[in-house]
Amino acid sequence: MQAWALVDYKAPLRLIDLPTPEPTGTEVLLEVTHCGVCHSDLHLWDGFFDLGDGRRLSLADRGLKLPLVMGHEIVGRVVAVGPEANAVKPGDSRIVFPWLGCGRCAQCETEEDNLCQVPSAIGLVRSGGYGSHVMVPHSRHLVDYAPLDPALAATYACSGITVLAAIRKVMPMEPDEPLVVIGAGGLGRQALAVLAALGHRNIVAVDPDPAKREAALAAGARAALDGAAEDLPAQITAACGGPVRAVIDLVNGPSTVRAAFAVLARGGTLVHVGLFGGGFSVPLPVMAMRALSLRGSYVGNPKDLRALVALAREGRLEPVPVVRMRRDQVNEALTILREGRAEGRMVLEA
Ligand SMILES: [Zn+2]
Ligand SMILES: [Zn+2]
């Protein structure tokens, strides 16, 4: 098999030859037909996350080994199965749930794989979808998506379940209760689509880019505010009619979190989703007196993926814009993403 691999941090991915793995046990080998290009690939490409105060989380220190085949938004066709594999057969097309853990602990066994203490995600730790083939340890990590568009379905494995899992952390809410979504780029559009599918009708979107605010309004946001405005907290409370019970911060940088924290109502929840980087100082008495919750949310689990696909199959989930490119354009796609020029989720086709 061949794959576009991260060989050196910050250097263009290189096409390398790898042995095609043979499935054993419950393993399933798929030929990759579609793979989305994601912002988190840029952090892998750099080799670190910015933790604020000049501190960095080095991925090499965390055990990341090069060469790495990135790519975690995968749709593929089953080509071979291990002797103990069930539920799929060669020829079946499936979405790959990539956020794997050890496969044996209580979290993994209850399908909370993304909360496993030994993360082993496809495209981050295991070999991912920027290659011709990908191996999955068990068919329970494969989701049938027919008759949906496979390029769109690929994005559900990451951006889709990321927003669904974050939304679940602030639910239940009345459909008309205000909910703030910070960031109206790719994830923000997906969040608006999922909230609409769940019947939520009162979303205030925040983004510094006027074009993205325009798109958010077109996608059903009730208001769209300038994320760069000096008086953003005042604008949010004005738009929401007072302090807010739920803010989902898809950017999660120091300035967005400061604004989000300032507008939280008593008992309110701020969900941290983005990987922008940086830090934030929390006034501890305020946490207690206002009974606030700050919750991190990282990707989602296989139950989220199946729930999302079900919403899409029922026709309730508005498709997000997808830009199709060829797999050998992967470096171009990453550069477009780095420069903020993407006009939708970019998906590489074989
Ligand atoms: Zn992703
Ligand atoms: Zn586990």
CB-based burial label for 120 (10 Å; 0-12, 13-18, 19+): middle
CA 333, 335, 341: angle at the middle one, nearest 5?
Answer: 80
Please give the distance, rounded to the nearest whole angstrom, from the Cα atom of residue 100 to the centre of ligand 1. 13
Residues with CB under 5 A from ligand 1 (ion): 38, 40, 158
Instruction: Give the closest residue to 79 by CA, choosing from 92, 93, 95, 90.
Output: 90
> 3-state class of 42 per DSSP?
helix
Please give the distance, rounded to the nearest whole angstrom, from the Cα atom of residue 40 to the centre of ligand 1. 6
Please give the distance, rounded to the nearest whole angstrom, from the Cα atom of residue 163 to the centre of ligand 1. 11
Tokens of 180: 């703030």
Can you give the pTM of this predicted structure?
0.93
| pLDDT recorded at residue 53 | 75
Which residues have C-beta within 8 Å of that of residue 47, sequence separation ≥ 6?
9, 10, 58, 59, 60, 64
Instruction: Give the closest residue to 324 by CA, choosing from 343, 305, 309, 308.
Output: 343
| pLDDT recorded at residue 311 | 97
Please give the distance, rounded to the nearest whole angstrom, from the Cα atom of residue 29 to the centre of ligand 2. 21
| pLDDT recorded at residue 52 | 73
* Residue 50, strand partner residues: 56
Alpha-carbon torsion, ordered 192, 253, 121, 186, to 10 deg? 30
Ligand with the closest atom to the CA of 299: 1
- Contacts of the segment 209-214: beta carbons below 8 A, 24+ positions apart: 209/184, 209/185, 212/184, 212/185, 212/188, 213/184
pLDDT per residue, tens digit, the chain (350 aa), is 999 999 999 999 999 999 999 999 999 999 999 999 998 899 899 988 777 777 888 888 777 889 999 999 999 999 999 999 999 999 999 999 999 999 999 999 999 999 999 999 999 999 999 999 999 999 999 999 999 999 999 999 999 999 999 999 999 999 999 999 999 988 999 999 999 999 999 999 999 999 999 999 999 999 999 999 999 999 999 999 999 999 999 999 999 999 999 999 999 999 999 988 888 999 999 999 999 999 999 999 999 999 999 999 999 999 999 999 999 999 999 999 999 888 889 999 99
Ligand with the closest atom to the CA of 39: 1
Task: Tell me the one-letter amino acid at 66.
Answer: L
Buried b (16+ CB within 10 A) or exposed e, 251-273: bbbebbbebbbebbbeebbbbbb
Please give the distance, rounded to the nearest whole angstrom, from the Cα atom of residue 42 to the centre of ligand 1. 10
| pLDDT recorded at residue 166 | 98
